[in-house]
Structure 1
Amino acid sequence: MSEIPGSSTPPAPRSVLVTGGNRGIGRAIAEAFIAQGDKVAVTTRNGGAPEGALDVRCDITDAAQVDAAFAQVEEAHGPVEVLVANAGITKDTLLLRMSEDDWSSVIDTNLTGTFRLTKRAAKGMLRLRRGRIILISSVVGLLGSAGQVNYAASKSGLVGLARSLARELGSRSITTNVVAPGFVETDMTDVLTDDQKNAIKTQVPLGRYASTAEVASAVTWLASDGASYVTGAVIPVDGGLGMGH
């Protein structure tokens, strides 16, 4: 929810959809919008949405499920005004060991799944003549990473997708931007050893991991009135790890 400069009237809550909103970065993003008073729906495959959010079951690799999810959100909260495409998977392995499925499943979820989401969201936003689309990429998509050819390609692809949408949809007051987190404190990084964590921190100018709340803050800013003239941008939240990219 965004403030109206010079107005004492509370802004109306918006219909926000966050994919993969049951844990990690997605959950923090959903909770940040809930805290602002927005009407938040999250997609999950197995449940576990944060308190106050509409829990919508959806596998974004299935176009029919994506369409059904939007219909459910629209019925409960109205047309989606803010889409945060966060859901993604990894299947890490070196190139010569990477199977066709390792490649195609990551691309289909992370990149093609986001195509399905943005296409469906754009229909409602074009009718409203406003909207915010925010894609969650990764510093890996900009820097590359050994053992993550599939993941890096999918996350890099989001940048081209976002910038093309920014050009297509901008005349209707719809912005499309990318947030590219670096190393973030999540369940996935908790399993690393102290030596592994310290080795990673030495690569980061700020010398620490990001919190999920710091990523969420960038997302809520991009959805705010303060970012109404920002589109086609890649916002790194990586402690300086990928600067220059």
Structure 2
Amino acid sequence: MLVLLPPSEGKAASGRGAPLKPEGLSLPGLAEARAAVLDELVELCAADEEKAREVLGLSEGLRGEIAKNTELRTAGARPAGEIYTGVLYDALDLASLDAAAKKRAATSLLVFSGLWGAVGVADRIPSYRCSMGVKLPGLGALGAYWRDPMAEVMPEAAGSGLVLDLRSSAYASAWKPKGEVAERTATVRVLHAPTRKVVSHFNKATKGRIVRSLLMAGSAPAGPAELVDVLRDLGYVVEVEEPAKAGRPWNLDVLVDEVH
């Protein structure tokens, strides 16, 4: 099972340990593309703070993020699962998983990123600011920039089992499963049951809880149909929209009344 996650806009501070080692990141086939984004981002933020703030879409109150980007090569690095924060990651709560579940997380979770393309939760990275919606002057829109590199590495990363795609639309634009990979891919939408509407907090928190439940249970469903059964066994209310045509993912709706 491979789980695709969005990052968080807010991030924890960089660590005090060793700095980034690009060669140590998952998906080494992305190394060249990562280096190009890193070079341009650091150069932009070091050369013109005001332009960098505009390009990165930062408010005046987030101006400090620009200085942080200039130090990406030298700042201490921490596991990505500690860097990313927010509702989904609070609900996932990687730090409190038992040893076996942590091992499963390290091998099955990929976080998509405007800067890195995608990283594993155990990959050590510095804190940064660069969303997938950013359009860098030299490389263009990052969602489009990452499509070719991701198309090269992701089919192999997807292996032969389930792909559980929990990314937001901006990050989903960087790679869309095709062919037989798409047929074993499931996307999840979380709906507030009384209103049948997507509510951001419910959506993010429930996705985090779903991933945590799967990791704790040691579940490795082979495909979308098996995932539906597993989620229902774990107590989730799931409605299924099977693909009308071959080569397309399954769409699952998880219904929630409230999130604790």
TM-score bin, normalised by smaller chain: 0.3 to 0.5
What TM-score comes out, normalization by structure 2 length? 0.34
Tell me which protein shows more strand as a share of its residues. 2
Structure number with greater Rg is 2
Higher relative contact order (CA 8 A, sep 6+): 2
What TM-score comes out, normalization by structure 1 length? 0.36
